[in-house]
Copies of this chain bind each other. A is one copy, B any other.
Amino acid sequence: MSTSAHSHDREEGLAFQPKFDASGLVTCVATDAASGDVLMVAHMNEEALRRTIASGDAWYFSRARNALWRKGESSGQTQRVVEMRMDCDQDAVWIRVEQTGAACHTGRRSCFYRKVTTAEGDTRLSFVDAERLFDPAAVYRK
């Protein structure tokens, strides 16, 4: 099959054929099934994808720690997957989840707790929805 035929198949077919990058990863976006807010952007390798599909709990692959992890295994802040979707070229996954507590390791509900603002050509951040639901020092250093 030509590259183009492969590409068409991946985009229009119904076979599950994730396209992993050179590190063996796809990008995963997790949104809150209730609010629609983006909670986090992370990565999954083949095993994380497989376990997520099999268990219904979100598993990721940490590039920093070079390790598979089940979301919430340290913090207790698990994610239950309501729906999983693949994008056109199957290198990104979108999961809608029921989030227990906070998705972010800083203790916030979402990792996206700062918005970009500009004033007089100056780009800054400002906090929004930045309340902490847990104290990361207490949760991760036990």
Contact = CB atoms under 8 A, between A and B. Distances in A.
Interface of A: 11-16, 27, 29, 31, 35-38, 40-41, 53, 83-88, 92, 94, 104-106, 108, 111-116, 118, 123-128
Contact of A88 (B35, B38, B106, B126): B106
A84 B114 CA distance: 9
A13 B29 CA distance: 24
Given A13-B125, A86-B114, A94-B112, 16 more contacts: A16-B125, A27-B27, A29-B29, A31-B38, A35-B36, A41-B94, A83-B115, A85-B112, A85-B113, A85-B128, A86-B112, A86-B116, A87-B112, A88-B104, A88-B105, A92-B111
B11 A85 contact: no
User: How many of these chains are in the complex?
Assistant: 2
A128 B94 CA distance: 13
A27 B41 contact: yes
B116 A53 contact: yes
A34 to B, nearest CB: 10
A85 B15 contact: no
Nearest to A108: B88
B111 A88 contact: yes
Nearest to A21: B63
Nearest to A130: B12
- Lowest 9 A-B CB distances belong to which pairs? A36-B36, A85-B112, A87-B111, A41-B92, A84-B116, A14-B125, A88-B111, A16-B123, A38-B94
